[in-house]
């Protein structure tokens, strides 16, 4: 909410004209020698002063930046196990060069010499890193915190419990075993059901075959598609025309004899 004023000065005859431009949005934001803005996230930009003078090309100043200093932001706070030992890593984002990171143990600042810890700091501009290294095994019930501060204030965040990753594994392991068991049981049930269905189909096919075989063994009178006549006494359609002709001749002779007998009686 504070106001900030940028001043631009140029030399020319007649006196030059001034235009302020936002270097990020390329918008014109002022037409006077001084530019006054209210500090906010929307005005946290880079500004360029462009000077116009008759007979000369426009000249731009170097960018003037407006940055709002805010409290540090703790990006990550995690426990790690490394081959060289266990540690907690605290990563902080802060624009201030006066940023400080302090480690707390049960709410009190850690004394490196007495508490058997080692603290390592690194800085790459806006990002600040601090590593709390344990020189010996620590109790899982101890609470560690990372405190970051600058001119705008400070923030504190509790670190995860030591060996919490192992606790998660212990919780997830029974769940994983249960899932495997359920999946195995479902697979077994599916296999059993498929086998029962297959056996039922095989029994139905076998019953059809037996029924078909029983019908074929019985005498029948049907139409012989192959020999274009009727079959008698259970002869199959594959009986030759010779056999069929023989049967027809026998039947004709029997009929003739019957007619003769009838005529004699008369």
Tens digit of each residue's pLDDT (9 = 90 or more) over 60-118: 999 999 988 889 999 999 988 877 778 899 999 998 989 999 999 889 998 876 667 88
Nearest to 97 by CA among 123, 77, 121, 74: 123
Q: Compare 168 and 101 and report the one with higher pLDDT.
A: 101
Give 105-128 pLDDT, tens digit per residue: 889 998 876 667 889 999 988 999
pTM of structure: 0.49
128-164 pLDDT tens trace: 999 998 876 665 678 899 999 999 999 999 988 765 4
Alpha-carbon gap, residue 166 to 154, rounded angstroms: 31
Helices of type H across the chain? 112-115, 164-216, 241-265
pLDDT greater than 60 at residue 47: yes
pLDDT of residue 101: 96
**Dist. CA 176–CA 178, nearest whole Å:** 5
Average pLDDT over residues 224-248: 45
Average pLDDT, the chain: 79
């Amino acid at each position: 909410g504070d106001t900030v004023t940028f001043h631009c000065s140029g030399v020319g005859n007649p006196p030059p004209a001034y235009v302020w431009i936002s270097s990020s949005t390329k918008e014109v934001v002022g037409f006077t020698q001084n530019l006054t803005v209210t500090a906010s996230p929307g005005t946290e930009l880079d500004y360029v002063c462009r000077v116009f003078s008759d007979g000369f090309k426009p000249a731009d100043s170097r960018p003037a930046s407006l940055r709002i200093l805010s409290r540090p932001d703790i990006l990550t706070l995690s426990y790690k196990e490394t081959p060289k030992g266990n540690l907690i890593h605290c990563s902080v984002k802060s624009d201030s060069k006066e940023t400080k990171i302090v480690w707390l143990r049960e709410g009190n600042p850690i004394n490196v010499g007495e508490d058997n810890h080692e603290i390592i700091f690194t800085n790459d501009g806006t990002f600040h890193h601090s590593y709390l290294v344990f020189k010996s095994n620590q109790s899982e019930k101890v609470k560690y915190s990372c405190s970051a501060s600058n001119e705008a204030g400070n923030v504190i965040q509790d670190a995860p419990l030591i060996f919490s990753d192992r606790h998660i594994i212990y919780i997830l392991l029974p769940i994983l075993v249960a899932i495997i068991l359920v999946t195995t049981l479902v697979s077994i049930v599916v296999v059993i059901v498929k086998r029962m269905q297959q056996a039922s189909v095989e029994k139905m096919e076998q019953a059809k075959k037996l029924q078909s075989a029983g019908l074929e063994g019985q005498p029948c009178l049907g139409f012989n598609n192959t020999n274009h006549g009727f079959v008698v006494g259970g002869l199959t359609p594959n009986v030759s025309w010779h056999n069929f002709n023989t049967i027809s001749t026998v039947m004709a002779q029997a009929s003739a004899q019957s007619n003769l007998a009838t005529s004699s009686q008369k």
